[in-house]
Amino acid sequence: MKSFPRIALPLAVLLAGVFLLFLCQRSATHDVLRIGIRRNLTHIAVGQTSQLLAYEEYQNEGIDSASAASTKDLLHEAITPKWSVSDPQVASISEDGMLKALKPGRVSVQSQWDGFETSTTVEVLKDLPAGVLPKVETRASRCVPQDIDLSLSPERALRFRIRFGDGSCKDLTVEANAPDRPLPWAFDAGGAHLELKSSRGPILMGALSLPSGGEISFTVWSEGSGAYPISLAGKTILLTGDSMSEGIGWTMRGKVEAAGGRLIVQPWYSSTTVGWQSEGRMRQYIEQYKPDIVFVALGSNEIFTGDMEARARAVKDIMAEIGDRPAYWIGPPSWKPDHGIVHTIEENFRPNGFYNSNDLRVPRRKDGAHPTPEGFATWTDLIWNWYARTL
């Protein structure tokens, strides 16, 4: 029993030495600069789950701070941080980083680890046909993407960025003016070949061929307010409603035809929603033209009208006559405060299918209501970009 202290003391010293050696080695070879969250999730639909991944970013031994600014000198290593979300009603997150979408909205996801903290934003949508975004598939390549960003501005400035972050694969950024033609688009930069193949609203599908060999296929959400070209090949589009539909048709015809479609403009001057309901006018046009897509510009003759209950029933009946084909309602460009028609149409038409024109600022004719030809062109451009991003 008396010999135990003589054994314990050297053992404690040895363990302390090993621990200090570990700390010294870690400090010398693992100088952590920051932590981050992989952008393996930017958009998610209600009810879906996705595993979030976090990492520490560090520099190797002998790399000074100045040279560490070079991407190739920075390395990543997975960590297990403490997770939290800004709004638990929008999304919840488990201890291991499993995020579950609960209701539409935007949530900030935070991670904390070893004195560092960072965050990322996730958009929760009611529906997302492509599933969780981004989707990335790597073929015949050792380079594994850390994140992918894509954006298009209204001025058609395109920016694509892919980051690997493991120190062995070089990050790539492509900045170019988007072609004024339908997809696909191709770009060459830094020995890589980028192809944007197709789009569905702001969702883009593409592929990147790397200089070192191999290919990365991706489906991402494109940021920015620019609209990608859409295809209406073989489609018949009906644009109808009151006199506003005629003015919109002047500019929309060229856009539809450039996308490969056929536009039919059929206005009913001075008409109202209740008039359309009583006449069954939409049903007549659907049977006559058999459109694939319907645009309705109606309500301008009712901005000073009361009895919104009757208007609500009329909107629902018109929607029923359209059936299950894609349909979009262009709200009246109110030149004075309306008495409820805009809200009534929006509340009773299809979700995400109503374009609110209340804030429209364009030149008007002498009647103060109808836009000038230039005003109609501006209004139609706004409608078209909205439509392209909500497909």
Half-sphere exposure (CA, 13 Å, Cβ side) for 301?
Answer: 16
311 and 302 in contact (C-beta within 8 Å)? yes
| 6 domain-assigned | no
pLDDT of residue 71: 42
Domain co-membership, 242 together with 339: yes
Which one, of 92, 80, 83, 81, lies nearest residue 44 by Cα? 92
What sign for the dihedral angle of Cα 383, 385, 390, 391?
A: positive
Along the chain (391 residues), what's the average pLDDT of each consecutive run of 10 residues?
50 51 48 88 94 86 49 73 96 96 95 94 88 91 88 94 81 92 90 93 94 93 90 95 96 94 97 96 97 97 92 97 96 90 95 91 89 96 91 76
- How many structural domains compose the chain? 3
pLDDT of residue 23: 46
pLDDT of residue 28: 45
Which one, of 349, 384, 340, 345, lies nearest residue 239 by Cα? 384
pLDDT of residue 58: 83
DSSP β-bridge partners for residue 78? 55
pLDDT in tens, 11-54: 554 555 544 444 444 444 568 889 999 888 999 999 999 999 99
Domain co-membership, 116 together with 160: no
Distance of CA 36 to the CA centre of its chain: 21
Distance of CA 336 to the CA centre of its chain: 33
Domain co-membership, 98 together with 147: no
Domain co-membership, 72 together with 185: no
Which one, of 318, 324, 325, lies nearest residue 298 by Cα? 318
211 and 190 in contact (C-beta within 8 Å)? yes
Q: Which residue range(s) make up the domain with 349?
A: 236-389
Domain co-membership, 261 together with 355: yes
pLDDT in tens, 327-373: 999 999 988 888 999 999 999 999 889 999 998 899 999 988 899 99
252 and 328 in contact (C-beta within 8 Å)? no
| 177 domain-assigned | yes
pLDDT of residue 141: 85
Domain co-membership, 288 together with 350: yes
pLDDT of residue 2: 46
Domain co-membership, 158 together with 116: no
| 25 domain-assigned | no
370 and 364 in contact (C-beta within 8 Å)? yes
3-state SS assignment for residue 151 = strand
Burial class, 207, CB count within 10 angstroms (exposed 0-12 / middle 13-18 / buried 19+): middle
Domain co-membership, 94 together with 170: no
Domain co-membership, 272 together with 325: yes
| 12 domain-assigned | no
pTM for the model:
0.72
